[in-house]
A and B are shown apart, each in its own frame.
Chain A
Amino acid sequence: MPGLAVIAGAAALSMAAVIPTFGFVAKEAGLQGLLDLEIGGWGVVALAAFVVGAMITVAYTARLFDQMFGRGAPQPRVSMIRMPSPIVPGLVHRAGPAFLAPPALLAALSVAFGLAAGLVGEVIAEVAASLDPESGTKHLVLWPGFEPALFVTVASWIVGLAVTEGLRRRSRGTEPRPVLATRVYAWCYDGVLEASRRVTAVSQSGSLPVYVGVILCTVVAAVVYAATAGFPTLDSLPLADSPVQAVLAVACGALGVGVLTARRRFTGALLLGGSGYALALVFLAHGAPDLAITQFLVETLVIVMFLLVLQHLPDGLRPPPSWAPRALRFGLAAVVGISVTVFALAVSSSRTEPSVGRDYIARSVDEGGGRNVVNVTLVDFRGFDTLGEITVLAVAAIGVVNLVGHARREQRRKRLADGTDDLGPGRPTVVDHDVGSRFRSVILSTTVRGIAPALGAVALFVAARGHNAPGGGFAGGLILATAIALGYLADGRRAFRLRPAQPLLAVGIGLALAVAVAVTPLAFGGALLESAIVTVDVPAVGPVKLVSSALFDVGVMILVAGAVLAAMAAFVGAGGADPDPDPGSTGGAVDSMDPADAVGEVR
């Protein structure tokens, strides 16, 4: 195959830096550059490496060319790791022109570039200058003249060819045996594989408790590391700020530890709630009534959520896992508790400057339009945080509806498959199971029916007065959700006919309202969430100050109520024991807004 040989030859010459190829020009320039440098320690090493590299290049290029197109491989061949199957002559066929063209073009280029070295050099100099403006403008030339670099290059040709010939002679008649480099390579490769397996087996235990443990150990290490850098000495601390605080703290801590020992989910949830209530009172004693209210409401709702979920789950908690000795887990827990506390103590005694909160208090009434600074902070000074917070709530509600919806669909499929629900979803079941229970709970439901609207009124009141007294949109929303939920519950649990997707609509409306209030000032060249205070003269009442940020709080309230209701409706409607709970609805499914669900029903 002479054509191929010519192409390969040209490329090989370029690789070996034989004149007049571009490889020669490039190598020459590189050598010249290195020789021009001041010969320091690293310069010599680099130069030596360059020269040795050039020799080896010549050697392997010559060997490659010789064996492929020249005298052929010496017998027997030096074995590589995997011996390629020998080429059967009959199978080698001429490569078509399309196949030869790309290498031919490249080979031709390497020669052409060499001949036109000056021109190419200018382009390269430009690129080099753009990368490193201080790089000199070296010009590439084909014939450098009898410079030291030329002699080095020529020497590399000679040595390289000699090495090739020597190797050829030496390999003749010897047994195939892995070259040292091959063995080193194989050894490295196997080592890497082995290392990767072992390291990964340790780092990827796949066990969540182990991952959590690692994180907690890191936290402890961080505190210890910081402590070695030196904590300030603590002032003497009061034992307790007030006797009430001491009592509440003991209660809170005891209930908290109680959660740890609970053997039943139900007990655990109640103890957590109890601990949270005690904490709410601690907040109150600390001068944070808004925190106390919110903590109280949230803790109540957490208990309700737990109960709604736990009615489905088996009640007993299994004994703790055996993946690690109990002592280790409790030891780590204790160390985490201690180090966090120590660091908190150290931090609390190192405040140097007054809090920005002083400015909030100073501006709250005149510019924020409210006396309750915490609420003004939430809807005005730091309203953007609140916007984020309700977004989190909204998206979590979506997630709950989504996951519980999946569970419901799967259970319905199972029931259909079992034949226990052969009437199919969406059609009325035979009897109204609720008749009996509804009679029994008539007193309860009457009471609740009376309470629910009252609670609704309380919710609005709490939300409305939030700007000037403890309360606000969030607390109002939670109470509103409770009121609505109670209203439904008054008809018995079965009749909790809210589709989770409906309250989600309220979530969307609340979010949209809050955002709309936030962006309106932008249209007038103001800043996001900039508030306006309007004084309206209401007849018979007198001037009433209206703050635009109060409207923001309304959005918060709607969203919170919607999100909580969505989650509750999802959990109430969930449950394997429940037959399809909503016989009256057209779609049949409680979460029938889900198109995937609708598809499932058509099927």
Chain B
Amino acid sequence: MSVVLAVLIGVLAAAGTALLLQRSLTRIVLGVGLLANAANLLVLAASARPADAPIVGNDGRLGDPVPQALILTAIVIGFALVSFLLAVAYRAWTISGNDQVEDDIEDRRLAAALRARAARQGDAPADPGPPARPEADR
């Protein structure tokens, strides 16, 4: 693996991760796309050095066909998942008018109850937890 490829993997993985840590489903899908690309490149680069295409009859050293086959499978699966996630995003939009991933209602309710009780008793909870609502949507 060359330094350039290693850095590229790191950059793609970091950018994908940053997108993944957000609430907009569109951003999450974009992040998944970047991470999938990073993972594919990583597996290819870590398994085999650049070589000639593994087609019998090519001159020179033929590359390893196995990682290529694995990554091909992964690309297709990734495509399927991204398409499906887009459908989820679309459906979310038709329901709520945006594609934000909301917090779980039940969890929020329990956390709110705990906070309310703590407030009644006059001591703030040790861990306030994440905010009950995400950022203002509209």
Contacts and interface: CB of A to CB of B under 8 A. Distances in A.
A–B contact, 8 Å CB criterion (strictly below):
yes
Interface of A: 197-198, 200-202, 204-210, 212-213, 216, 237-242, 245-246, 249-250, 252-253, 256-257, 259-260, 262, 265, 268-269, 272, 275-276, 279, 282-283, 285-291, 294-295, 298, 301-302, 305-306, 309-310, 312-314, 317-324, 329-330, 332-334, 336-338, 340-341, 344-345, 347-348, 355-358, 360-361, 364-365, 371-374, 376-378, 381-382, 385-386, 388-390, 392-393, 395-397, 399-400, 403-404, 406-407, 410-411, 468-470, 474, 563, 567, 570-571, 574, 576
B119 interface: no
A290 B6 CA distance: 22
Nearest to A215: B20
25 contacts: A198-B125, A198-B127, A201-B127, A206-B130, A207-B130, A241-B5, A259-B15, A268-B26, A286-B48, A286-B50, A287-B53, A288-B63, A291-B71, A309-B89, A318-B137, A337-B12, A337-B17, A355-B66, A372-B55, A385-B73, A395-B80, A396-B84, A400-B84, A469-B55, A470-B53
Given A208-B101, A291-B71, A323-B134, A336 B17 contact: yes
Nearest to A378: B69
A393 B76 contact: yes
Contacts of B98: 314, 318
A287 B53 CA distance: 4
B57 A371 contact: yes
A209 B44 CA distance: 29
Contacts of A376: 65
B59 interface: no
A310 B30 CA distance: 13
Contacts of B129: 201-202, 205
A393 B53 CA distance: 27
Contacts of B104: 204, 206-207
A283 to B, nearest CB: 7
Interface of B: 1-24, 26-27, 30, 33-34, 37-38, 40-42, 44-57, 62-73, 75-84, 86-91, 93-95, 98-101, 103-108, 110-111, 113-114, 125-127, 129-131, 134-135, 137
A333 B4 CA distance: 19
A378 to B, nearest CB: 5
A382 B1 contact: no
Main secondary structure of the interface of A (DSSP, over half): helix
Most buried by B among A202, A268, A344, A410: A344
Given A259-B34, A275-B12, 8 more contacts: A209-B22, A256-B16, A259-B30, A323-B134, A357-B54, A378-B69, A396-B81, A399-B84
Contact of A249 (B5, B16, B77): B5
Contact of B76 (A210, A365, A392, A406): A392
Main secondary structure of the interface of B (DSSP, over half): helix
Most buried by B among A283, A336, A337: A337
Contacts of B51: 287
A283 B84 contact: no
A599 B22 CA distance: 39
Contacts of A373: 54-56, 62, 65
Contacts of B12: 252-253, 256, 275, 337
A206 B103 CA distance: 5
A207 B130 CA distance: 8
A567 B34 contact: no
A184 B85 CA distance: 52
B80 A396 contact: yes
B34 A337 contact: no
Contacts of A291: 40, 44, 68, 71-72, 75
Nearest to A406: B91
A341 B34 CA distance: 15
A374 B3 contact: no
A200 B110 contact: yes
B136 to A, nearest CB: 9
A381 B73 CA distance: 13
A240 B73 contact: no
B87 A337 contact: no
Contacts of A319: 135
Contact of A309 (B5, B90, B95, B107): B90
Nearest to B77: A392
Contact of B90 (A345, A390, A404): A404
Contacts of A216: 17, 20-21
A344 B38 CA distance: 11
B26 to A, nearest CB: 5
B66 A360 contact: yes
